[in-house]
Structure formats: structure tokens, C-alpha cells
Amino acid sequence: YDAKQPENATLTEGKWWPQDYSGEPLVSFSAEEGKAIGLKLGDTVTVNVLGRNVTARIASFRQVEWETMGINFVMIFSPNTFAGAPHGWLATLTDRKATTADDARLLNAVTRAFPAVTTVRVKDALDIVNRLVAQLGTAIRAAAGVALIASVLVLSGALAAGNRARIHDAVVLKTLGATRRTLIAAFSLEYVLIGLATALFALAAGGVAAWFVVARIMT
């Protein structure tokens, strides 16, 4: 729950409750997850907290920027929803200039000052994810490079295979009165059209593949 709207979220529908709100339980829902399960403004959702069913009305939807690593949740309730219920506090700390030694000293200091506080270092997990993404990007670039080289070889082979036919066509056209400039222009136009068709196909195939990876695999 929270009395104030989170900084790393933007309301897309509805409005946030006042800080001194004391009416019926309200909830702010993540817009993406809410849309996925067919929720709309004014609907009610029921959650079970410590064996007790709590029903709240959706007061707003939020566009959540999860990439900021700030504290946020799919559902945020108005504070009066859980009045009197046992709960704990959650906080995040980010220091982009801190070294591993700085992190260790900070964790030790927090543990000594607040023995009941549980600290979780998420930087290691993020570093692992970043390395995996970097390796995936390298593999994709390598595969794209191999595909590009293979396509160039295939195109070169196709052009070489048709070279004899082009020589024959050039001789026939020359006999019929075609000039050197006309022949060069005709063959150049043919190569341009072949290259353009190849580029358009590659662009379409790459776009579809990128959409599939982003929309289906990385969701």
C-alpha cells in the first residue's frame, strides 16, 4: 500500500487517492497486467491476506517503468485497506559509483545497526542478466554475419550462373542495334532491381523475426 503515487509510474486512467483517504478499499493496478486479464476502471479485485479476503475497487491504472528498479508492484492499495494488519517495510538503495567493497561495508553496517533487517544484493543477479544479454547479442550478430556472407555467396553464384545468358543477350541486342550505353543501363537496372528485391525481403524478414523475439520470447 502507499498514500502517494510512486515516482516511477504514470497514471493512464483514473486518479490517485488523497493521502488522508478513509473510504472503501481502493487499488491501483498495473495497466499492462490489468489489460491482460481484462480489468477495467471500477472493477473489484479480491486478494487473500493472512487468511482474510480483502476486496478493493480499482481506482486507477499505472504505466510502470520496471527498468528503474525502484519499488513498485502490480497492485498498490490505499493505506486504509490494511489498517491494523502486521506488515514490514521495504526500501531500495542504489549507488552507481559504489564498488564491491563499498557494498560489503554498507551491508555490514546495516546488519550491525538493524539485526532484524534482511538485505538482498540484487546487483549480482543484474550483472549475470547483463552478461547473458550481451552474450546473446554477440551470438545474434555472429549469426547475422554468417547469414550475410552466405547470402552474398548465393547471390554471386546466381549472377555467375546467369552470366552466359547475359553475354548471349548482349550479343543479340548488339546485333539488333543496341548501343554500349543501352546495354550497360539495362544490366545495371537488372542488378539494382535484384538488390532492391533482396533488401526488401531481408528487411521484412528481419522485422518479423525481431517482432517475434521481442513480443513472444522476451515478454
Question: What cell does 102 get?
Answer: 563499498
Confidence of residue 6 (pLDDT cuts 50, 70, 90): confident
Cβ atoms of residues 6 and 63 within 8 Å: no
pLDDT digits (tens, 9 = 90+) for 184-206: 888 888 888 888 887 888 788 87
Classify 116 as helix, strand or coil: coil
Instruction: Answer whether residue 182 shows pLDDT above 80.
Output: yes
pLDDT digits (tens, 9 = 90+) for 56-114: 999 999 988 776 666 778 899 998 888 777 777 777 777 777 777 888 888 888 888 88
Please report, for the chain, the start and end positions of each structural domain, with discontinuous segments joined by +. 9-92, 123-217
pLDDT of residue 70: 66
Question: What cell does 53 get?
Answer: 479476503
DSSP 55: E
Taking all residues of the chain, what is their mean pLDDT, rounded to a whole number?
A: 82
Distance CA 219, CA 211 (A): 11
Instruction: Answer whether residue 122 shows pLDDT above 80.
Output: no
pLDDT digits (tens, 9 = 90+) for 15-24: 999 988 888 9
Q: What is the pTM of this model?
A: 0.52
What's the CATH code, domain 9-92? 2.40.40
Q: What are φ and ψ of residue 75, in 5° steps?
A: -120, 130
